[in-house]
Amino acid sequence: MTLLLAFLCQFLSVCITFLVANWLPIFHNSIVFLVMQSGLAMTFSFLLHQRNWWIPIHLLFLPSIFIFSTFAIPAWFYLLLVVIFTLVFWGTIRGDVPLFLSSSGVAEMVISLLKKENAKTFADLGAGVGTVAIPVANCLSEIKVDAWERAPFPWLIGKLRGRFLSNYQTTRGNFFTANFEKYDVVFTFLSPLVMPEISTKIKREMRSGTLFISSSFPVTNWQPENIFYLNDRRKTVLFCYRLP
């Protein structure tokens, strides 16, 4: 649905700009045409309540096509780019969770919390390339680490990075099908859009006393036990929730 809305924004903006160009010769100028089309695409995106990170995509989409069309680049190259971006940003295409990479500071804080919890099982939901799960498995060999990732390419990278770690397992699939009852600590760095759904599943399945950690995005109507403000590049905030 998200991708469909994005295509709709681009389609409407191109159609309107072509119609205006038929009446106003100034829009025959490529620069003027591209500026209006990009502005309309961003406006439609705002009106359709798309996430903020779609704004630069709409802004640069048609201008990028125009610029690259001036180079002698074979057609298969564009197809290759589409395939690569699809494999990397699978969550964005099928839902509303883009690829977020956690910093080393986040991994260090999660390791510290796992030690404090004396955890034996840990799950990273939407693990990406393993920026948190791999350091945890490396540092805490006694903990069983499950990394869940749906996007094919990040999953493959995470699998290759952790291939020699006996306590690390990565699963390519939808973590909403997983059973969280077996985990002592669950970590996520997802999107505000899915937080209500994932928190409902967490509350329903995780055992009393276990810990849920959400990076950057709080859970509505759930008071965190602790909030940690990290001094990394993104100024990440970790929200820690104790299961009652």
Domain ranges of the chain: 2-72, 104-242
Q: What is the pTM of this model?
A: 0.69
- pLDDT confidence of residue 1: 52
**Sign of CA pseudo-dihedral 198, 203, 208, 213:** positive
Phi, psi of 74 (to 5 degrees): -65, 150
- CATH fold of the domain at 104-242: Rossmann fold (3.40.50)
Q: What is the DSSP string of 105-124?
A: HHHHHHHHHHHHHT-SEEEE
Q: Is the pLDDT of residue 71 over 80?
A: no
Confidence of residue 93 (pLDDT cuts 50, 70, 90): very low
Q: Write down the mean pLDDT value for the chain.
A: 85
Confidence of residue 82 (pLDDT cuts 50, 70, 90): low
| Nearest one of 225, 242, 224 to 184, comparing CA atoms | 242
Mean pLDDT across the stretch 26-34? Answer: 77
What is the DSSP-derived secondary structure letter of residue 27? G
CB of 184 closer than 8 Å to CB of 144:
no
Q: What is the DSSP string of 154-213?
A: HHHHHHHHTTT-TTEEEEES-GGGS-GGG-SEEEE---TTTHHHHHHHHHHHSPTT-EEE
User: Picking from 49-53, 128-132, 133-137, 174-178, which range would have the lowest pLDDT averaged per residue?
Assistant: 49-53
Q: Is the pLDDT of residue 24 over 70?
A: yes
Mean pLDDT across the stretch 90-100? Answer: 53
